[in-house]
Amino acid sequence: MDKLAIHGGEPVRRKPFPSGKKVGFEELRELMDVIESGNMYRYPGAKVPKLEEEFARLYGVKHAIASTSGTASIHVAVGMLNPNPGDEIITAPITDLGTVVPVLYQNAIPIFADVDYETFNMDPTDVERKITEKTKAIIVVHLFGTGADMDAILDIARRHKLMVIEDCSQAHVTEFKGRLLGTIGDIGCFSLQQSKHMTTGDGGMTITNNDDLAERGKFFQDKGWRRAAWGPRSYIFLAPNYRMNELTAAVGLAQCRKVKDVVAKRAKLGDLLTSLLKDAPGVHPQKVLPGAKHSYWSYGMTVDERLGSPDEFAQAVRAEGVSAGAHYIGLPIFLCAEALSQKKTYGASECPFSCPHARPGIEYTPGQCPVCERVLNRMITTGISEFWSEDDIRDMGKAFVKVAKALWKA
């Protein structure tokens, strides 16, 4: 057996993995149009509506609403639903805080459903278990680039008359049983942050086929401003300013035309890595549900206890010249955020938890999502890039297999 590099052996790989630029001449050409026009503001610009049109066409939906971030895109979605103070929205414990912040800003209360140990995505059984008379909606998070069990979640939502928002920040142009994630629920949300499959540096997009939701969403991203009205200005409800600017949209237009190829390349490389990891004892890649696909925003796996601690495993993989991290976000998101665990929200008020409309006794403590804690405790993540080759992926596979075989305790 080859000696591990961390113990003085020869590493699998010494050269760095290829880097690449996500943006180039195509983005520059669109940006030049904006500069030549002299108008960088959404109204009366041309690029933002054009991006919304092309994004909607890409997903085969009627409406797309651009905004300033993935967090904003989810806030627009929650704003579309217009929950009452104290209403509850069920979501995932393995996510970025950007999924949760919009719920709190609308004075609603996030409730966390546990995850499936193999898919890392929301467990529909626990979603249904967490429904109360206050539940308004479900925000499904498609973690790392593969879909949660949308059939089961939609069935639950329809039986309980709940709306479904899909957080597709990590799952652009990704199929689930022949449909694109983001088009299966009532509303789909996308991040355009730098690391995503398509990027504008920061930005967001919210999509829907529901005309009434779309109308409210368009007002919501623009302070509730009824711009077409005659007479004094008319702001028809409380809303933030999430307007995307023309420069951001210009980059987004070029990216929108590239994203299918980016996802196809990542999917091919990620699937290859999964096939190689079959030779790594005790390593379990994130399960992809039957009929679903994976776009590999990140590559997640769990490692058996017989491989030792994930921290030591990741350190050994890194010594072989391959990136690896342990535990992802470390703890369920509600234990990472003091706005939840300590209710540090609006001044010293603890709103919305202290709101008279809220269900009393809601707390966020260890043990509420035990499977999530088990998953994070054993999780390893690594990266996939559309700029890499199959040979790069084979080196990754060799590193993981080498480390797993060396550390495996029969």
Arithmetic mean of pLDDT over the chain: 97
Q: 359 pLDDT exceeds 90?
A: yes
User: Which residues have a Cβ under 8 Å from the Cβ of 89 and sit 6 or more positions away?
Assistant: 78, 83, 103, 108, 109, 110, 111, 135, 136, 137, 138, 139
In 45-198, where do the E strands start and end?
Answer: 63-67, 88-91, 109-112, 135-141, 163-167, 175-176, 179-180, 187-191
pTM of the predicted structure, to 2 decimals:
0.97
Which tokens in the block code for residue 51? 């991006």
pLDDT given at position 296: 98
Could you tell me the pLDDT band of residue 1, with boundaries at 50, 70 and 90? low
Per the structure, the count of domains in the chain is 1
User: Which region among 134-143, 216-225, 229-238 has the lowest average model confidence (pLDDT)?
Assistant: 229-238
- The C-alpha atoms of residue 189 and residue 287 are separated, in whole angstroms, by 23
Q: Is the residue at 283 inside a domain? A: no
Residue 271 lies in a domain: no
CA distance 365 to 257: 44
The pLDDT confidence band at residue 263, using thresholds 50, 70 and 90, is very high
Q: What pLDDT, in 10s, does the model give residues 304-317?
A: 999 999 999 999 99
Look-up of token digits 């990704």: 174
The fraction of the chain above a pLDDT of 90, given in percent, is 98
Alpha-carbon distances, residue 332 vs 91, 275, 306, 361, 376 (angstroms): 12, 29, 24, 19, 8
Domain annotation covers residue 87:
yes
Residue 223 maps to a domain:
yes
Decide if 106 is inside a domain: yes
Output the six-digit token pair for 106. 């609308």
Residue 51 inside a domain? The answer is yes
The answer to whether 314 touches 325, Cβ cutoff 8 Å, is: yes
Write the pLDDT tens digit of every residue in 123-162: 999 999 999 999 999 999 999 999 999 999 999 999 999 9
By CB atoms closer than 10 A (0-12, 13-18, 19+), residue 2 is middle
206 three-class SS = strand
* Residue 104 near residue 362 (C-beta atoms within 8 A): no
Q: Say which residues have a Cβ less than 8 Å from residue 233's Cβ, sequence separation at least 6.
A: 225
Gap between the Cα atoms of 40 and 44, Å rounded = 9
pLDDT reported for residue 195: 96
What is the span of the domain harbouring residue 164? 25-258
Q: d(Cα 36, Cα 342) in Å, to the nearest integer?
A: 50
Decide if 143 is inside a domain: yes
Q: Which CATH number goes with the domain that contains 174?
A: 3.40.640.10
Tokens read off for 188: 């789909």
Q: Which band of pLDDT confidence, cut at 50, 70 and 90, is reported for residue 229?
A: confident
Task: Report which of 9, 15, 2 is spatially closest to residue 321, judged by C-alpha positions.
Answer: 15
pLDDT tens digits along 73-121: 999 999 999 999 999 999 999 999 999 999 999 999 999 999 999 999 9
For the cut 90, the answer to whether the pLDDT of residue 61 exceeds it is yes
Q: In terms of C-beta density within 10 A (0-12 exposed, 13-18 middle, 19 or more buried), how is residue 248 classed?
A: buried
Average pLDDT rounded to a whole number, residues 46-57: 98
The pLDDT of residue 410 is 58
- Residue 265 maps to a domain: no
183-218 pLDDT, tens digit per residue, is 999 999 999 999 999 999 999 999 999 999 999 999
Kindly state the average pLDDT of the residues 381-410: 96
Q: What is the mean pLDDT of residues 243-247?
A: 98
pLDDT at 2 over 90: no
